[in-house]
Chain A
Amino acid sequence: NAGVTQTPKFQVLKTGQSMTLQCAQDMNHEYMSWYRQDPGMGLRLIHYSVGAGITDQGEVPNGYNVSRSTTEDFPLRLLSAAPSQTSVYFCASSGSIGTGTGELFFGEGSRLTVL
């Protein structure tokens, strides 16, 4: 069972470079989201989507861009990487978040280092 798949698992960028973190899920979930995890900060929501063509900002959206053209995919784009974006990024999906149970299914994470 694939669940939520993120690529790449590791990436090193130079300041100013751009890149896309890929996220795909095979559970037909309408809701998908991106979090970043930093030491001592827990998880913070970057962007989320409640369906194809619909996206919205979370707590820390600056410097990131998303789109949702299909139910399965939700890529996260870093437009011009900065050292402050060094973090571990998690994609998560849910089939029940709007109904109250709210279980999120997480990918294994993508560790990004910006030099």
Chain B
Amino acid sequence: GDSVTQMEGPVTLSEEAFLTINCTYTATGYPSLFWYVQYPGEGLQLLLKATKADDKGSNKGFEATYRKETTSFHLEKGSVQVSDSAVYFCALKRSGAGSYQLTFGKGTKLSVIP
């Protein structure tokens, strides 16, 4: 079945440091890939997405590129802020009509210290 593997946290960085959170997936065909973010005490919200190979999703300074050859969708940000402290989830949705389920990774908690 489909699966998503994220690097385990927690990850602690100083403000303005470079961030990478690794995500790899297993799925048949060409799934859509997502990063969701969960701020403390809140539900998840979509951060960025990519729907086909070599697409780059970007939002709020975060980027991720859909790499079909390595089945990866790593999240990066050049300079993190304290406000980026949250849990980040990588997810996939299988392509094709009738596909209604998202498969989530276990989440990576990021703490950014001043």
Contact = CB atoms under 8 A, between A and B. Distances in A.
Contacts, number: 61
Nearest to A56: B100
Interface stretch (A14-22, A64-72, A75-83, A95-103): A95-103
Contacts of A44: 104
Contact of A102 (B89, B93, B105, B107): B93
Contacts of B95: 100
B101 A48 contact: yes
Contacts of A103: 34, 46, 49
B100 A97 contact: yes
Given A42-B89, A100-B32, A100-B95, A90 B101 contact: no
Contacts of A31: 100
Interface in B92-114: 93, 95, 97-102, 104-107
B79 interface: no
Contacts of B97: 98
Contacts of A2: none
B24 interface: no
Interface residue range, chain A: 20 to 34
B51 A90 contact: no
A104 B102 contact: yes
B104 A97 contact: no
- Interface centre among A45, A92, A100, A109, by most chain B C-beta atoms within 10 angstroms, is A100
B100 A43 contact: no
A32 B36 CA distance: 17
Interface of A: 4, 31, 33, 40-45, 48, 50, 56, 58, 90, 92, 97-98, 100-109
Given A45-B101, A102-B32, A106-B43, 18 more contacts: A4-B43, A31-B100, A42-B89, A42-B107, A43-B44, A43-B104, A48-B101, A50-B100, A90-B43, A90-B44, A97-B100, A98-B97, A100-B93, A100-B95, A102-B34, A103-B49, A104-B36, A108-B42
